[in-house]
Amino acid sequence: MRSRWAPVPAWRRYLRAGQAEEVLRQILPGDPLRLRLLAADRITAAARLVDVDRVVVRAMARISHGAALHGPPASEAWLIEEMELAIEDTVDAGIVDPGSAGPFLRALAPGAGIGREALIRSCVAFNRRSQEERVAFWSLMLAAEPLDEAARRYETSPTEFARRSRRVLTAIMRAAGESGAA
Amino acid sequence: MMSGADAEEVEVARRLATAFRLAALETADVRSPSTGVEPGLALAALREHDLQEAMLALEDLLVHHAAPCRLESSFAVLPRPRASYTESLRSLLKLLGRRTSDLQFRLPAPETPPRAALKELLAVVKAWVQHPEVRRAQADIARLWEARYLRYGGASADACALLDEILKAHAGANDRLTRALRAEVLAELVSIHIDAGELVEARRAVARGGPSPKLPVDVRGNLDALALALGWLEGGDQFPALEEAFLRGGFDVPAGWWEIIQRAEPQEGAAHRVPLRVDGAEGEKRRLSLPTRSELGAQAVIFLVLDDEGRLRRGAVDVAPALDHSVDDWIRRWRRPDGEYGSMQQEALRGALPVIVMAGLPHPAADERLARSCVDVERGCPLGAIALPIEQGDEVVGLLWMEFAHRRLPGKVALRSLAERAVGHPILRHRVGASVHLSSADGPVSAGEQTVREDLKRLWGKLVEGLALKTAERRWVAFQRIGAAGDILPVASGGAGGQRLGDPSSGGLWAIRRALGAGGFVRYEGDPSDPSSSMLHPGAAAGVAIAVPGFSGAEAVLIIESVRRGDSRERDAVRWSEVLEHHAVVLQCAALDFKDRVDHAGGLVLDALAPDERARLARVQVLASNRSDLIIRGEAASGRRTMARAIHHARHVRSSRTRLVQLSSFGLEVSELEGAFSAADVETVVLTDIERLDVGSQVALTRILEGGIHDRPRVIATGAEVTSEASRDLSLAEGRHPDLFRNLERVEVWVPALRSVRHRIPLLARSLAQRWERSARPGEPLLWSKEADEIEATLWRQPWEGNAVELEAVLRQALLRAAGREVTHRHLTMAFDDVGLELVSRLPSRDPDVRDIASALWATRTVKGRMNKTRAAAFCGWDPNTLAARLRDVQVAEMEDVERLLDDSSA
């Protein structure tokens, strides 16, 4: 997936403030590092279901901390790394404490006609699957890509690709049904 | 995708997919930048992140301090620090600066020892995890570190209990962080069991981790890597390459596994193999027991001792019952350690390095070597075996053979400990003091000792000169029994071939041991195909080891090695051996002189070729061969103490007692006397002028002597000459303890006065003068050479009523008169005046003492050993005709008659 993300020109100056709190105050208003866009890109690429705002907050904390300790980074790649770590931190926090899934997922539940808790459990179950399986599910079920095309893109057979997606579906169905709410 | 599902399930799936799709759309919706992030929320996230980072930085510091605390050969796995110590510390200090209210703790000072620093940091971490915002997983990481700390301190059981507690606390949790923590805790548990050799327990701990480990390429984390290592140790077929797996998992490769890699790859391992040398001085502290099978987890432990003939003989055996009947055959097979090339035993003995072989290693030769070397191959080859050479000094004196049914073999530390224990074993105790060293001095040597060494070196140089040795391609090294505990040390070397032959190495020590044990000579040649040289010099192709006989066994060994193959012909060896044997007594005297000069600043002056002196030396050796108390009688300053010390030096060391204590009886306190006898390391107490001992001390000494001779130092007393029974009775009447003297006088030795052995005077005078000059002036002393005959004749004919003391006094005066120049007869004459002695210019020619005539002829004999009557007459102060007449009177015609007379006089 081609990235649409790019921070504003001269983005490093926002990271030269000194203390982490000061850096945070620089990068918070107006999101000059375009972290919201970066989060969207990396979450989609990693095929994760997480509260994007929580990811952005964690990423900001990590970036402020890192910049205060080591100074502005040499390249944008560091920002991408920190964002990916923030995504994994958020996923882990969600697995440890499903209640921390955030208002975003809770708000979706009524619209989809599904219980909030069931949806959160399903999200956790989804996030626990392997990257390959999540990508397959995401491509077929969420992005509605044709099977042959998606399988070719990920260099696997359509049957295997479909099986991976099926395994994810089974897992999230089981998670949703654990409390009987549907 | 949902074939077979009912409508309700399809509906749930549809709704979930809808919710997920909405979530994905929301995630991707970036039309408006995220302005909804509240500053308070972001600050809280930053604070939480800071706390996590501080913990990680602390953990980095813990890793840096913990690494040196780990035991050698341990399978303990430690995470690799994310940054260098300095960087980790800098990060932490920056966090400290920002969060002073949260991070109140004191870091260990830089010079703190690792274990103390680890303890201090652990206290910091334990305090740190009490912070309300710290996650539970971090608190358990602190407990994991506590378990590591306990383990490194040797409290493995406590560590196991703590690790179990951590595991129980997380039972049922399955998130990524808990899984990682559980893997780390289990890995710690597994490694503790592997270190303890509890492979079954280790396997159980692995099983608690869930699915079994996969192939190395798929290894996840250190637990799986350890599980694969465990599989190999238990006898797995395939050698796993786990280094990458450990490193990929973010952990260091455990030291125990590195050792196995080194054993698997001998080339790599060679750099790490070091001799397990044991310092003889620590002998007293060692445990004397040998390791048992159960202690080592072995199926066979066999202790072989290299005997004096260089053969391996049975020491102690602890084998599985199934192997019991094969042990004797196996020992017979390896009796000659230099017999079979390529065996583990031979390599261990020759290389003086432990040889460790495991079955199933990548290189195929390992299995073959194991099969060739093991006790009973028909019953199945062991999975691992160790041939551990036992060394004293530089010499291998035994071999500890161990076979294992698994591959968890003892590591470096355990092997070192085994070697130390084996050296202290009673089987080897008789060898203490008989070790061979490759270098003579371990540290700086005093100027006095340097002189003594130089003298011995010169003596060997002269002896080797007498061998008519062609040295262009040869190098010779003389080893002599002059060490403090009777050790064999190199004393001299020479030969132009040295540069091509290289420095002496331990490879040829077996030849020295063989020559020492068997006597005679040993001819040997190097094997060009064998990388571990069996020669003393690595570049040598042929060699001869010649033993120089002593009173009991060999006194010294001369090694002659050559660059040329075949350069150790038997006829040459026979000739050299005969020449050295002829001079053996000279070397024995030199050894006694060396020890006395080095240890007691004394010196033993003996004309080793004089018949009476030979008899005296033989008597010294007889007296040294047992530990009975004795008394040496003679005139004052006639050499009684020197003889006592010679008896001490000539003994064959068989115990840890080595020290000699000299006590003067005059004014001796009972406590001093008892103190000397209570010291554990005193072998001989020399008690001078025993007649001067007061009654209390006599009683104390009598009580001491009544104890067993083997439990206390030996007493050598010196006393005045008792000439008749009457005087003895008189002595008793003067208040002497009858039991004491009866005990001591069971062995009584008489030392003649100097005037009775005049032929000793020239040699003794020169020695005393040299000693005095060396103490007064640096450099080689300039004594007398131009007027040597006249000076020696004058000294020879004096009566020396005061024996050596009087002689020394005159010589000192003469040397003072000469003031560093050569001593002349005029100086000597003045010296006699200074001391107040009257010069005797001639011996009475009427009815002379026959010993004096024999002595004069012996002292003046030619280099070829013939009589020089003119010179002898000058010594006596007679004209030659007078001497001729006296010779006829006493029927002396040949040198043999002189030798007989001297021999008779000594009796």
Average per-residue pLDDT for chain B? 81
Query: What distance in Å separates the CA atoms of residue B238 and residue B224, rounded to the nearest whole number?
Result: 15
* pLDDT band with cut points at 50, 70 and 90 for residue A80: very high
Q: What is the pLDDT of residue B96?
A: 66
Q: Is the ipTM of this complex over 0.85?
A: no
Q: Using 50, 70 and 90 to split pLDDT, how confident is the model at B213? A: low
Which of B:78-137 have CB within 8 Å of A? 91, 94-95, 98
Nearest of B525, B510, B520 to residue B561 by alpha carbon: B525
pLDDT at A50: 85
pLDDT at residue B309 in the model: 62
Q: Which of A8, A69, A82, A179 to mutate to test the interface with B (most CBs of B within 10 A)?
A: A69
pLDDT of residue B338: 57
Q: Shortest CA distance to B436 belongs to which of B478, B407, B374?
A: B478
Report pLDDT digits (tens) over B809-829. 999 999 999 888 889 999 999
- Nearest by CB: B15 against A64, A114, A123: A114
Position B29 scores a pLDDT of 72
Place domain B280-429 in its CATH homologous superfamily: GAF domain (3.30.450.40)
pLDDT band of B31, cuts 50, 70, 90: low
Tell me, what's the pLDDT at B47? Answer: 84
Residue spans of the domains in chain A: they are 11-96, 102-177
Q: Which residue has the higher pLDDT, B7 or B460?
A: B460
Residue B312 and residue B339 in contact, taking contact as beta carbons nearer than 8 Å: no
HSE at residue B691, side-chain half, CA atoms within 13 A, is 15
Q: Which two tokens stand for residue A119?
A: 């949806």
Nearest to B19 among A39, A50, A114 (CB): A114
Contacts of A177 in chain B (CB under 8 A): 12
Q: What is the pLDDT of residues B223-268, one digit of tens each?
A: 888 888 998 898 888 888 888 888 877 888 888 888 888 776 654 4
Binary contact (B12, A19; C-beta < 8 A): no
Q: How far apart are the first and last CA of chain B?
A: 120
Interface contact B13-A173, CB threshold 8 A: yes
Which residue from A31, A92, A138 is facing B176, i.e. has the nearest CB?
A92
pLDDT the model gives residue B276: 36
pLDDT on residue B287: 44
Query: Predicted confidence band at B853 (pLDDT cuts at 50, 70, 90)?
Result: very high
- What's the pLDDT band for B661 if we cut at 50, 70, 90? very high
The two three-digit tokens of residue B633, written as one number: 């009688």
Q: Which residues of A touch B93 (CB under 8 A)?
A: none
Which helix H or strand E contains B748, and what residues bound it?
strand B748-751
**Among B residues 711-770, those touching chain A with beta carbons less than 8 Å apart:** none
Out of B188-197, B306-315, B527-536, B561-570, pick the least confident: B527-536
Distance between terminal CA atoms of chain A? 34
pLDDT single digits (tens) A97-155: 666 666 666 677 677 677 778 888 888 888 888 888 999 988 888 888 888 998 998 88
Is residue B783 very low, low, confident or very high in pLDDT (cuts 50, 70, 90)?
A: confident
Q: Which chain B residues touch A56 with a CB distance below 8 Å?
A: 34, 37
CB contact under 8 A, B24 and A162: no
Q: What is the pLDDT of residues B745-760, one digit of tens each?
A: 888 889 999 998 999 9
Tokens matching residue A136: 């397959």
Strand order in the sheet with B355-358: B312-319, B300-306, B395-404, B384-392, B355-358
What pLDDT, on the 0 to 100 scale, is given for residue B442?
Answer: 58
A60 pLDDT band, cuts 50/70/90, is very high
Backbone angles phi and psi of B734, in degrees to 5 = -85, 15
Above 60 in pLDDT, residue B85? yes
The closest CB to that of A64, out of B2, B46, B48, belongs to B46
> Which pLDDT band holds residue B281 (cuts at 50, 70, 90)?
very low
Q: How many Cβ atoms from other residues are within 10 Å of residue B896's Cβ?
A: 10
Taking an 8 Å cut-off on Cβ atoms, the answer to whether B50 and A65 are in contact is yes
pLDDT at B72: 79
Contact B114, B47 (CB under 8 A): no
CB B630 within 8 A of CB B748: yes
CATH level 2 (architecture), domain B610-751: 3-Layer(aba) Sandwich (3.40)
For the stretch B136-168, pLDDT in tens is 777 888 899 999 999 998 899 999 999 999 988
pLDDT (tens digit, 9 = 90+) per residue, B427-471? Answer: 554 444 457 788 776 566 777 788 888 889 999 999 999 888 888
Number of helices (H), then strands (E), in chain A: 9, 0
Distance (Å, whole) CA B828 – CA B834: 10
Among positive and negative, which fits the CA dihedral B235, B238, B242, B248? negative
pLDDT at residue B710 in the model: 76
Is residue B202 within 8 Å of residue B193, measured between CB atoms?
A: yes
HSE, CB side, 13 Å, CA atoms: give it for residue A98. 15
Check: CB of residue B404 under 8 Å from CB of residue B385: yes
Looking at residue B19, its pLDDT comes to: 81
Q: Tell me: the pLDDT tens digits for A139-148?
A: 888 888 888 9
- Going from N- to C-terminal start, the domains of chain B cover 41-269, 280-429, 447-507+526-576, 610-751, 757-906
Among the residue ranges A55-59, B25-29, B554-558, B631-635, the one predicted with the least confidence is B25-29
pLDDT attached to residue B785: 78
The pLDDT of A54-76, averaged and rounded, is 88
Query: What is the pLDDT, as a whole number, of residue B2?
Result: 59
Lowest-pLDDT choice from B180-194, B259-273, B355-369, B879-893: B259-273
Q: Which residue has the higher pLDDT, A26 or B29?
A: A26
C-alpha–C-alpha distance, residues B638 and B754, integer Å: 6
Q: DSSP assignment of B405-452, as one string? A: SSS----HHHHHHHHHHHHTSHHHHTTTT--B-S-S-SS---HHHHHH
The CATH class of A102-177 is mainly alpha
- Answer whether residue B300 shows pLDDT above 60: yes
Chain centroid to Cα B293, Å, comes to 26
Q: Do A141 and B177 touch (CB under 8 A)?
A: no
Residues of chain A contacting residue B98, judged by C-beta atoms under 8 Å apart:
19-20, 68
Mean pLDDT within B93-111: 65
The mean pLDDT value for B678-703 works out to 89
Task: Indicate the Cα dihedral angle B798, B803, B804, B809, nearest 10°.
Answer: -70
Does the pLDDT at position B832 exceed 70? Answer: yes
